[in-house]
Amino acid sequence: MPQRLRTSTTTRRLVVVGAVVAVAALILVAGAVALRISPQAPGASTARLAPTPPMGWNSWNHFGCAVSADLVERTADALTANGMAKLGYDSVDIDDCWMSRQRDARTGELVADPAKFPQGIASVARYLHARGFTLGIYEDAGTATCAGFPGSLGHERLDAQTFARWGVDSLKYDNCNHDGLSSKAQYIERYVAMRDALRATGRPILLAICEWGVHQVWTWAGDVGQTWRTTHDISDSYMSMLANFTVNVTLARYAGSGRGWNDPDMLEIGNGGMTLTEERTEFTLWAAMAAPLIAGADIESLSADDLAIYSNAQVIAIDQDRLGRQAVPIPVGGLPAGSGGLWVLSKPLAGGDLAVVLFNSTDSVQTISTTTSMVGLREGSFELREVWSGAVSTTSGAISSVVAPHAVELFRVSSQSTG
């Protein structure tokens, strides 16, 4: 009896507790809904739109202004045919020069160049969506794009609505011709205007901020967009890639899951200006930095070697790791990180593994050495798997390699303890 009594008292308590929990849950849900529709909600859209760094293709590095529906659709088909789509390259992005020189005289809307996009942008969006891709487009937070086409400054609402109506999924928003609105506050204002305009459409559209790092975009962009360019434009050379790396690598603490991603610009792999070693280095460094992996080459004519770089699933997994941490640079031999052109990077991964990069940016062969404790591991025995060669070794301390000029070694480090 006492047992039953206790049970029924417990049951009543449970009912009361349950009701309280249900009401609390309702309040939380209502709060979350309010948060989602609030134009000020930081992080919420990033967690949804870019839980890991975006992957895909963009027309600019290889094709410049020579964009067209035909190119975009053929590129999507090539990404499917060569296996890259399956590996995560699912965003197909049209950069500058897709527009007509004038807005529509009656509606004020942007107009796609009818020679390049005879069926319009919505038709390209349908083509991509039917094949599992998203569509990215380009505009500018000034009076004109960098190539001189109509800008969105003062037209944010209308342009965002137009993009939403066409089925656009992401917007790269550039910074040319900004009409003297050049203070930090004015920068933020111009980008927030487009953020709010995109949100007001009700269509989830990723905002890729492209202000080239002018006003320390990494300090404010987490509340505005999902990715932000930290550097000036990359070009197809080792020195340019190295320059962008050197800026971006110092900014690890500003990036991460739910906040957004530092973007050192699109990949040049396959464009001919770097050796295969340098291309592997670019891919490795970008992955370690949890950067967007946006191929900037002619996908239809990639060599087998370049395709193999873009398709290295283990490197992609490090970039896309769900912990969402950007690698931090580690001092080498008691000197500040990067001293003498020698770099050690350490990126914690979900599940306790670590990615460690040894990067020799110099023109001569170098030995680069660190230790498991320097890269942030506790004592123990570890397996080192060099991701490009597949070579496996074990260590309980030293991580050291002779690294060729401009080359990297990328280790996935796992604990060997069975406990």
| DSSP-assigned states of every residue in 169-206 | -EEEEE-S--TT--SHHHHHHHHHHHHHHHHHHSS--E
Residue from 77, 113, 179, 233 carrying the catalytic annotation? 233
> Of 60 and 343, which has the nearer Cβ to ligand GLA?
60
Q: Which residues neighbour 27 within 8 Å (Cβ) at sequence distance 6 or greater?
A: none
Q: Across the beta sheet with 392-395, what order do the strands follow?
A: 328-330, 342-348, 354-360, 408-415, 382-386, 392-395
Question: Which DSSP letter does residue 388 get?
Answer: T
Tell the smallest beta-carbon distance from residue 193 to ligand GLA (Å).
19
**How far is it, in rounded angstroms, from Cα 249 to Cα 252?**
6
Residue 278's identity, in one-letter code, is E
Determine whether 16 is exposed, middle or buried from the number of CB atoms within 10 Å of its CB (0-12, 13-18, 19+): exposed
Q: What angle do CA 157, 161, 165 make, to 5 degrees?
A: 175
Angle, vertex CA 253, rays to CA 366 and CA 136, nearest 5: 95
**Which residues in this chain contact ligand GLA in the complex, by CB under 6 A?**
60, 95-96, 138, 145-147, 174, 210, 233
Residue number, 19 or 66, with CB nearest to ligand GLA: 66
**Exposed, middle or buried, 11 (CB in 10 Å: 0-12/13-18/19+)?**
exposed
Question: Least CB distance from residue 375 to ligand GLA, whole Å?
Answer: 33
329: DSSP letter: E
* Alpha helix segments (H runs only) across 249-378: 276-288, 304-310, 313-319
**Shortest distance (Å) from residue 257 CB to ligand GLA:** 25
257: Cβ contacts below 8 Å, ≥ 6 apart: 47, 51, 52, 322, 323, 324
Q: How far is the CB of 190 from ligand GLA (least distance, A)?
A: 15
CB-nearer residue toward ligand GLA: 87 or 110: 110
Indicate the residue among 142 and 338 with the shorter CB distance to ligand GLA: 142
Going by their DSSP bridges, the two strands 170-174 and 398-403 should be labelled as: unpaired
Q: Which residue is nearest to ligand GLA (CB)?
A: 146
Q: Supply the minimum distance, in Å, between the C-beta of residue 31 and ligand GLA.
A: 38
Strands 398-403, 366-371: pairing is antiparallel
CB of 95 to ligand GLA, least distance (A): 5
Residue 233 annotated as catalytic: yes
Q: Considering 96, 174, 298, 306, which one is annotated as catalytic?
A: 174
Catalytic (active site) residue 93: no
Would you say 90 or 265 has its CB closer to ligand GLA?
Answer: 265
Give the shortest CB-138-to-ligand GLA separation in angstroms: 6
Q: Closer to ligand GLA at the Cβ: 64 or 83?
A: 64
Residue number, 149 or 310, with CB nearest to ligand GLA: 149
Active site residues: 174, 233
